[in-house]
Structure 1
Amino acid sequence: MKVRGNFLDFRGSKFFIGELAVQNGKIGSIKRFGEGTDPALPFILPGLIDAHVHIESTMVTPKYFAGHVVKFGTVGVVTDPHEISNVCGVEGFEYMYNEARNTPLGVYFGVPSCVPATPFESSGATFDADTINYIFENYDTVALSEMMNFPGVVNGVPDVMEKLQVARNHEKVIDGHAPALKGTDLKKYIGSGISTDHEAFTYDEAKEKIKSGMMIQIREGSAARNFEALHELISEYPEKVMFCTDDAHPDTLINGHIDRIVKMALDKGHSIFDILKAASFNAVKHYDLPVGSLRINDSADFIIVNNLTDFTVQKTILKGEDVYDLGKNLEIPISQNVVNRFEVDPINAEQLKLPDKNVPVKIIEALDGELITKSFTAKLPVIDNFLQTDTSQDILKIAVVNRYDQIPKVQVGFVKGFNLKNGAFASSIAHDSHNVICVGVNDHDMLMAINTLIAEQGGIGVCADQKMDLIPLPVGGLMANESIENMAVKYNELDQKVKELGSGFHAPFMTLAFMSLLVIPSLKIGDRGLFNVDKFDFVDLYEA
């Protein structure tokens, strides 16, 4: 294979016209014909890397994910399968690992560090230091994935420190997760060997972390979208940033992957040389990925794009093979494997009721485009001595049901931000333990939404006036064996139904899924109760 086009010389930040020859899956030669660019020729660029992604959040299995993202120039992803590991343990990790083996994509695995994310919730499995060591010894991995228990690191909690030591023993990168961490605590966190963070959501926070020695992964996913706040770092610290999606639903991925972030950076006026460091080179170097970087004798991994304005990917080449030719669909075999764990029986209406105690109650305040929440207290209407939702204040009920115990255990609280005027919506995607979570205006629609998901063994759904619309997710209650294109259509329909009920959130299902993640501030709800992340402890719903 020979390819002629415009190339980038990163040593001098210059362009040149040339021709690349592929031999036995490697780059055999690159001939230079002249300086500058030829507008009649495409650009030959390094393939794109997603530096941190949970494939399960795309709601499709790895084969369908891989077949989709290569069409947008992605040649590799660093993935943390902690979603399905929380549900199915090592069996879940093995499922993702084996499914990813025969895909047209470099899928590089981290070992989940926090299964469950905290000791304050119920999950389907636990990964201790021995489990992590077992996976490092038996599977090809590149990192210990995001250490979400940052209080455990800062305070030197023994079992947390044991996990970090296992990673160091295996000489693995240790990825971080430290929203709003700063000062002395940040230094302790980094001092434990943690080298990346994708949770920074302000420029000052990210800059402090970079100056303290961290790599920052600029995240642009479905609910968490931090590019606008952080993009200046691309030019200011081009060697210290990477791009990632973290959690992206089908309706986001249908419009692109890392190429979408590249286009955003180009629109902001950043240099293509700096952008490609963030979109490719830095991740390859940091994780020591076996991905070529357009040098002689490298693996022939590169993309062909029409120009540096539209940045439309025309071909994606992996190990010298054209895995996507524009306009052709990649055939992906359908997986027959299904792993799941759903033990809980249906709940009853009484379990959704909250008695009035004649005091204000704590309210979670969800924010559009953020995973963090705020909180406040409010007095709510009372009927028959039970607290009610109040749509005039945009205060709705939120419930979490433990799916791993047969006897239903339900926690109920209140949330502001979703702005539903009727009905309820629910999901078995509820980070990170993936219990069933539901927000609603009234108990009868919440009850139907929750029990339908239990009967289906997982999914996402919307219920209004006792009419239920559902997308089943039979693989772990997280994924379906369908293409991104099909899932995007179904997801958009459900998403629109939630918005028709009143929600103004950009991605209401994604925001809902993070209301139970007990490691991102400030007030969340898990299957054991209301949780103050700042205090890292449970709090009473009723204000004392």
Structure 2
Amino acid sequence: MKVDLLVQNGWVYRTYRQCFEKADIAVVGEKFYDVSPASCYEADLVVDAKEKYIIPGLIDIHMHMESSMIGPAEFSRAVLPWGVTTVVADPHEIANVFGIAGINRFMEEKTDLDIYYAIPSSVPAAGPDYETSGGVMGEEEVLKLLEDGRVICLGEVMNHRDLISPEDTKIKRMIDLCQTASRDIKIEGHCPSLTGRDLAAFIRAGVDADHTQQTPESVLEKTDLGMFLELQEKSLTHDVVAAVVSHELYENVALVTDDVMPDHLVTGHLNRILRLAVEQGMPAEKAVYCATLTPARRMGLHDRGMIAPGKQADFVILEDLVHFNPLAVYKSGVLYEATSNEEKTKYPDEFYQSVKCRLALESDFKLNRCKVKDGEAVVSVMQVQESGTRIRHVKRRIAVKDHCLCWQEAGLCLAVVYERYGKNGNVSYGLVENGLKQPGAAATTWSHDSHNLLVLGNSPKDMLLAQNRVVHMQGGYVTAREGAVTAFVSLPVGGILSDEGLYKLSESLGEVRREIEDMGYKNSNVIMSISTLTLLVSPELKLSDKGLFDTKDRQGIPLVDKYECEKGKG
């Protein structure tokens, strides 16, 4: 018997025993043909693995390409060299901008990477009563997308209040359509703060997976209630990994990326999450299992996830089990050779004309409608944390002078959201603590999930400059200081994507990141932290174009709780 490819002298991953053994791998066409200790096959091509480690291609079942600010073709070129051969993409960012037309455009792109899709379940994330989006997803769109075999799950269900409500709601109808489909459609969840009876009700409603930030306690509670856990970077703390390891929960866990920024993507993807899991105490053989077979099994991708006869011949040759940097990546039995994108990716003309909000005026940043002329105001403030996207809701007392809130004198930043789709012209305001410490501003249309135009700053002239530049660019990220633009990333495709190559994009975003950090903003990921000030499904207090909201109870929160006049003044 002559095979197409024979890989010899490698330490091959034995999936069910989660160990490595010396073996040879035979490939015919796109499938593994045989795996044996010493093969006797002739082959058209023989590769000496030189006693390196060979693992199945990595499978990322929860991620958003839009977080890398590139489309499918460029994303494929970016992640395959890192050993990622299959992903399940939830395109809810492009859906928030363009609806199903954006998803269809993604699915048209040809890629070497195998891309399966989730149906965005929450567009807009919190619902039209709470934010304005460009697109809307409902039952009609679900039925249409289910016709495509690449669609294998319903993306992260975020609106738990509608899900566990006794009323008939859109999300319940969407889940019902998926559960009664002619094939197995998984239901993915987003429940960072649910516990107890609410969590049980969420799971009873059909959602049996969660990818949000975990604690040791949530790992055990959710596992005991039957949830599958998808651990991203911010969940891979020593304590969380210890909970998984000590209770041997590997069958119930997959490693995922969720969001990877462009300037981080050039240094790794799911292989970096593998490395982090091992650094935090997960045995390497178990981490490989949780990045290959368990995600494949969760999504019903039974033709991949292990090196075995009949499975798809996706595999990675590694130097070691510490860094997880590939020496070679084989996709469907063929060595993948990275290529650069020399030309812009072309999108429909209307994708380049999606930012339709007005240019800001400097008067937009003067809060001069206070009910008292002079005195104090008790205000709700979004307090930025140094890690993650959680924003605490705190109260602060600040001065009022001549009917104006003195937010700058109080050491706060002002956040302003402009509705950008030309639907209603909404402008809303919030105050931010632990934002920029030095005078300046940042503005962006890459603001989750509805991607309206967000401006954050403590210098009105810089806020004006940054907002105007973003509008003129038709989307992106801009920083400004001392009356000048200091860095920018152009994202002209829907205000969220670049049509150029990753490396140029990465350099530009790196400059924006450094500018924000130099202005004193402290967070483990300053880009994501600013961009999720508008994420209404993340705790605790967030800002949309329709105002401030308590994200747990979905209650509108006034910027000013109460006023107190100076003595003798009204």
TM-score range (shorter-chain normalised) is: over 0.9
The match for 1:31 is 36
Q: What per-residue deviation string (whole Å, max 9, x for no partner) do you get for residues 304-340 of structure 1?
A: 111223322011111111114xxx5455764211425
1:460 matched to 2:477? The reply is yes
The match for 1:296 is 309
Instruction: State the AA in 1 paired with 2:249.
Output: Y
The match for 1:399 is 416
The match for 1:420 is 437
Instruction: State the AA in 2 paired with 1:50.
Output: D
Q: Give how far 1:349 is off.
A: 2.6
Q: Distance in 1 between matches of 2:49 and 2:469?
A: 56
Q: Give how far 1:371 is off.
A: 1.6
State the TM-score, normalized to the length of structure 2: 0.89
The match for 1:356 is 370
SS of residue in 1 equivalent to 2:413: strand
Q: Give how far 1:139 is off.
A: 5.8
Q: Distance in 2 between matches of 1:71 and 1:77?
A: 14
The match for 1:337 is 347
Q: Distance in 1 between matches of 2:431 and 2:260?
A: 26
1:87 matched to 2:87? The reply is no
Q: Distance in 2 between matches of 1:44 and 1:530?
A: 51
Aligned partner (choices 322, 327, 332) of residue 314 of structure 1: 327
Aligned partner (choices 211, 214, 218) of residue 231 of structure 2: 218
Q: Give how far 1:198 is off.
A: 0.8
Q: Give how far 1:117 is off.
A: 0.6
Aligned partner (choices 35, 47, 72) of residue 57 of structure 2: 47
SS of residue in 1 equivalent to 2:527: helix
Q: Give how far 1:363 is off.
A: 0.3
8 Å contact 1:234–1:275 — kept in the other structure? no
Q: Which moved more, 1:479-488 or 1:515-524?
A: 479-488
1:169 matched to 2:156? The reply is no
Is the alpha carbon distance of 1:463 and 1:543 closer, same or farther for their aligned partners in structure 2, counting shifts above 3 Å? same
Is the alpha carbon distance of 1:225 and 1:486 closer, same or farther for their aligned partners in structure 2, counting shifts above 3 Å? farther
Is the alpha carbon distance of 1:302 and 1:485 closer, same or farther for their aligned partners in structure 2, counting shifts above 3 Å? same
Q: Which moved more, 1:248-257 or 1:181-190?
A: 248-257
> Based on CA coordinates, which of the two structures has the bigger radius of gyration?
2
Give the unaligned 5+ runs of structure 1: none
Q: Distance in 1 between matches of 2:236 and 2:381?
A: 25
The match for 1:239 is 251
Q: Which moved more, 1:380-389 or 1:159-168?
A: 380-389
Q: Give how far 1:121 is off.
A: 0.4
Is the alpha carbon distance of 1:219 and 1:13 closer, same or farther for their aligned partners in structure 2, counting shifts above 3 Å? closer
8 Å contact 1:50–1:77 — kept in the other structure? yes
The match for 1:527 is 545
8 Å contact 1:219–1:227 — kept in the other structure? no
Instruction: State the AA in 2 paired with 1:291.
Output: R
Q: Distance in 2 between matches of 1:180 and 1:56?
A: 25
The match for 1:2 is 6
Q: Distance in 2 between matches of 1:421 and 1:225?
A: 31
Aligned positions of 1:43-82 closer than 5 A: 43-82=53-92
Give the unaligned 5+ runs of structure 2: 40-47, 563-570
Aligned partner (choices 69, 93, 112) of residue 104 of structure 1: 112
Q: What per-residue deviation string (whole Å, max 9, x for no partner) do you get for residues 197-237 of structure 1?
A: 011332211221111101111112xxx56544522244230
The match for 2:134 is 124
SS of residue in 1 equivalent to 2:429: strand
8 Å contact 1:218–1:227 — kept in the other structure? no
Instruction: State the AA in 1 paired with 2:507.
Output: V
Q: Distance in 2 between matches of 1:30 and 1:138?
A: 33
The match for 1:515 is 533
Aligned positions of 1:266-305 closer than 5 A: 266-289=278-301, 290-305=303-318
8 Å contact 2:344–2:501 — kept in the other structure? no
Q: Distance in 1 between matches of 2:254 and 2:330?
A: 21
Q: Which moved more, 1:359-368 or 1:13-22?
A: 13-22
Instruction: State the AA in 1 paired with 2:173.
Output: E
The match for 2:513 is 495
Q: What per-residue deviation string (whole Å, max 9, x for no partner) do you get for residues 374-407 of structure 1?
A: 111112244543113347x642111111001266
Is the alpha carbon distance of 1:497 and 1:225 closer, same or farther for their aligned partners in structure 2, counting shifts above 3 Å? farther
SS of residue in 2 equivalent to 1:6: strand
Instruction: State the AA in 1 paired with 2:94.
Output: I
Aligned partner (choices 376, 386, 390) of residue 394 of structure 2: 376
SS of residue in 2 equivalent to 1:167: helix
Q: Distance in 1 between matches of 2:484 and 2:402?
A: 26
Q: Distance in 2 between matches of 1:131 and 1:178?
A: 24
Aligned residues: 532
8 Å contact 1:64–1:332 — kept in the other structure? no
Q: What per-residue deviation string (whole Å, max 9, x for no partner) do you get for residues 3-52 of structure 1?
A: 12001223334431111011111111112149xxx995111101111221
**What root-mean-square deviation, in Å, do the aligned CA atoms of Structure 1 and Structure 2 show?**
2.1
Q: Distance in 2 between matches of 1:444 and 1:505?
A: 25
Aligned partner (choices 163, 171, 177) of residue 160 of structure 1: 171
Question: Between the two proteins, what is the percent identity of the paired residues?
Answer: 27
Aligned partner (choices 159, 180, 184) of residue 149 of structure 1: 159
8 Å contact 1:67–1:332 — kept in the other structure? no
Aligned positions of 1:179-218 closer than 5 A: 179-218=192-231
8 Å contact 1:390–1:396 — kept in the other structure? yes
8 Å contact 2:293–2:305 — kept in the other structure? no
Q: Give how far 1:188 is off.
A: 0.9
Q: Distance in 1 between matches of 2:311 and 2:425?
A: 55
Q: Distance in 2 between matches of 1:333 and 1:441?
A: 39
Q: Distance in 1 between matches of 2:187 and 2:460?
A: 44
1:347 matched to 2:370? The reply is no
8 Å contact 1:52–1:246 — kept in the other structure? yes
Q: Distance in 2 between matches of 1:515 and 1:318?
A: 39
Q: Distance in 1 between matches of 2:417 and 2:310?
A: 53
Q: Distance in 2 between matches of 1:98 and 1:73?
A: 23
Instruction: State the AA in 2 paired with 1:202.
Output: T
Instruction: State the AA in 1 paired with 2:231.
Output: I
SS of residue in 1 equivalent to 2:214: coil
8 Å contact 1:345–1:406 — kept in the other structure? no
Instruction: State the AA in 2 paired with 1:453.
Output: V
Q: Give how far 1:241 is off.
A: 0.8
Aligned partner (choices 119, 123, 131) of residue 115 of structure 1: 123
Q: Distance in 1 between matches of 2:334 and 2:342?
A: 16
8 Å contact 1:399–1:437 — kept in the other structure? yes
8 Å contact 1:61–1:479 — kept in the other structure? yes
8 Å contact 2:393–2:540 — kept in the other structure? yes
Q: Give how far 1:353 is off.
A: 2.4
Instruction: State the AA in 1 paired with 2:25.
Output: L
Q: What per-residue deviation string (whole Å, max 9, x for no partner) do you get for residues 58-82 of structure 1?
A: 0122211111111111011111000
8 Å contact 2:377–2:400 — kept in the other structure? no
8 Å contact 2:18–2:289 — kept in the other structure? no
Q: Distance in 2 between matches of 1:408 and 1:198?
A: 34
Is the alpha carbon distance of 1:161 and 1:13 closer, same or farther for their aligned partners in structure 2, counting shifts above 3 Å? closer
8 Å contact 2:15–2:293 — kept in the other structure? no
